[in-house]
Chain A
């Protein structure tokens, strides 16, 4: 059984149907990437999973549990965390407080402390900026904080929405490296990216989304090699 399974998910904003029946699966241990043009429905797919924007029909199941009727704050407790588009750190809270909010649902003090260390080891700059308001961090640092904050929930599945957006190539490389490290440590990842080439290189499988529909799915290497993908998303 897949860790995450979407079956015929539709989502609407008023009269606009942003998702027109999406089906996809993510197996435990995988990195799956979702690529597509602006407005294809990538973010909506993630918000439909994490519960911020409930689907109008279809099912989302995680770990065998139907999520459609579960409130977003309870979904986190099941081990599914969504790191949203645009980083969305809490700007007037310190770096440490932001990480603490990631551990909001947890009560295992020693585990939380260990995870603080884990995040600081992965992103040493966050340790240096521990007491600084998150709003004063650079874009790259804020992205690291957003990923760190999501890690603090101890997720089984991490949904990442465009973690490389607007970052310098060196920082992008670092973020992708961390995604792989997390995956090796056992975190399953569903990655939404505009940077299709890099996403396809680290992912196991990929889905291509076009105006609310899945138009292609398969092993990441095959998708990367597909001439249609190359033309539309890799700028070749």
Chain B
């Protein structure tokens, strides 16, 4: 029993970390623009496609040397993060920025539109004639993501609990990214400008802060976190699919709302909570009930704390 609990705790934590990383992208943008970037999940998805394409181009698989795998993994992480950041930035420039002063529904609907467009791009990309994409025959089929890390149990072959190198990577790397983000937002000049802009954009302008630049930096950082998350997620789950951004994005968005939208620690808390509830519900209630249990619990939380766990109910905004 204890083994099962510990195992689910581990699964919940690893999944939760990925939700948290993606949730950060939603919450950071919302914090500044009060706008939900619904395309964020699909930026995550396309970033995973970048990683898979790289693996294919480099011919990486379980049989590659350890050094090649490590190098390949690092390259995937860097490339997908950069890609996610730049794609998110580009979307903002081209689609959202011209709509900054438009009624709120306009950018929202556009974001949903971008989301569908990116899924279409993913579908097209999935048809690429490359071995990792299944040779190009079935564009819509899930693609296997190569195991870049050894699938050994770090706790020993006989242990009832499985802890693989990829679990360590997901948790460790996520913690590093979250700490880095915290450090940036809390201590750097850019981070302070981001907080000031989120709290009062007009006052921020009057202090000499270039709000457009801050918004761009936010999309860049949020997208990069999504890109980074896509690699560790693909590695963890061993599959990529053109609709992977849709479900994970929705979960991560929910996590951000439950944590308190716009609140950075809230997104992390919400993500972890979602991951854990999901793991335990799958184990003890049954995977077929997952959405009902998960969203049921989240609705209950929101009924009691409408602004989310760490969100402030009283709008202190002047």
* Interface residues of A, Cβ cutoff 8 Å to B: 50-52, 71-74, 76-77, 81-84, 86-93, 97, 100-102, 104-105, 135, 149, 153
Q: Which of B164-172, B201-209, B242-250 is the contact stretch?
A: B201-209
Is the Cβ of B206 less than 8 Å from the Cβ of A90? no
Q: Which of B107-115, B190-198, B266-274 is the contact stretch?
A: B190-198
Shortest B211–chain A CB gap in Å is 7
- Which one of A90, A102, A105 lies within 8 Å of B200 (CB-CB)? A90
Is the Cβ of B195 less than 8 Å from the Cβ of A93? yes
Bound CA span A101–B207, Å:
6
Contacts of B199 in A (CB 8 A): 90-93
Shortest A16–chain B CB gap in Å is 17
Is the Cβ of B195 less than 8 Å from the Cβ of A73? no
Is the Cβ of A84 less than 8 Å from the Cβ of B202? yes
Contacts of A100 in B (CB 8 A): 192
Shortest B187–chain A CB gap in Å is 10
Query: Which residue of chain A has the shortest Cβ distance to B213 in the bound complex?
Result: A73
B34 at interface by CB-CB < 8 Å = no
A and B contact pairs by CB, cutoff 8 A, 11 listed:
A51-B205, A73-B208, A83-B206, A84-B202, A92-B316, A93-B195, A93-B196, A102-B207, A105-B207, A149-B207, A153-B207
Is the Cβ of A88 less than 8 Å from the Cβ of B205? no
* Interface residues of B, Cβ cutoff 8 Å to A: 189, 192-193, 195-196, 199-200, 202-211, 316-318
Contacts of A135 in B (CB 8 A): 316
Bound CA span A122–B35, Å:
40
Bound CA span A135–B203, Å:
14
Bound CA span A16–B68, Å:
67
Is the Cβ of A88 less than 8 Å from the Cβ of B318? yes
Is the Cβ of A76 less than 8 Å from the Cβ of B195? no
Task: Check A82/B192 contact, CB under 8 A, given A92-B316, A135-B316.
Answer: no
Task: Check A52/B206 contact, CB under 8 A, given A86-B318, A91-B316, A91-B317.
Answer: yes
Bound CA span A88–B207, Å:
11
Shortest B310–chain A CB gap in Å is 12
- Which one of B195, B202, B209 lies within 8 Å of A104 (CB-CB)? B209
Contacts of B189 in A (CB 8 A): 104
Bound CA span A83–B205, Å:
11
Is the Cβ of A72 less than 8 Å from the Cβ of B192? no
Contacts of A93 in B (CB 8 A): 192, 195-196, 199
Is the Cβ of B196 less than 8 Å from the Cβ of A76? no
Contacts of A73 in B (CB 8 A): 205, 207-211
Bound CA span A220–B316, Å:
38
Is the Cβ of A72 less than 8 Å from the Cβ of B205? yes
How many CB-defined contacts (below 8 Å) exist between A and B? 71
- Which one of B209, B211, B316, B317 lies within 8 Å of A101 (CB-CB)? B209
Query: Which residue of chain B has the shortest Cβ distance to A85 in the bound complex?
Result: B318
Contacts of A84 in B (CB 8 A): 202-203, 206
Bound CA span A225–B317, Å:
40
Shortest A67–chain B CB gap in Å is 14
Contacts of B205 in A (CB 8 A): 51-52, 72-73
Query: Which residue of chain B has the shortest Cβ distance to A97 in the bound complex?
Result: B192
Bound CA span A84–B200, Å:
11
Extra contacts, 18 of them, besides A86-B318, A93-B195 (Cβ < 8 A), are A52-B205, A71-B210, A72-B206, A76-B207, A82-B206, A83-B206, A84-B206, A88-B200, A90-B196, A90-B199, A90-B200, A93-B199, A100-B192, A101-B196, A101-B207, A104-B189, A104-B208, A149-B207
Bound CA span A91–B203, Å:
11
Bound CA span A81–B189, Å:
20
Bound CA span A105–B206, Å:
11
Most central of A52, A72, A89 by chain B CB within 10 Å: A72
Is the Cβ of A88 less than 8 Å from the Cβ of B203? yes
Bound CA span A87–B204, Å:
12
Shortest A212–chain B CB gap in Å is 21
Bound CA span A90–B203, Å:
8
Shortest A77–chain B CB gap in Å is 6
Shortest A171–chain B CB gap in Å is 19
Contacts of B202 in A (CB 8 A): 52, 84, 88
Shortest A4–chain B CB gap in Å is 16
Query: Which residue of chain A has the shortest Cβ distance to B263 in the bound complex?
Result: A92
- Which one of B195, B208, B210 lies within 8 Å of A90 (CB-CB)? B195
Most central of B193, B204, B206 by chain A CB within 10 Å: B206
Most central of A76, A86, A88 by chain B CB within 10 Å: A88
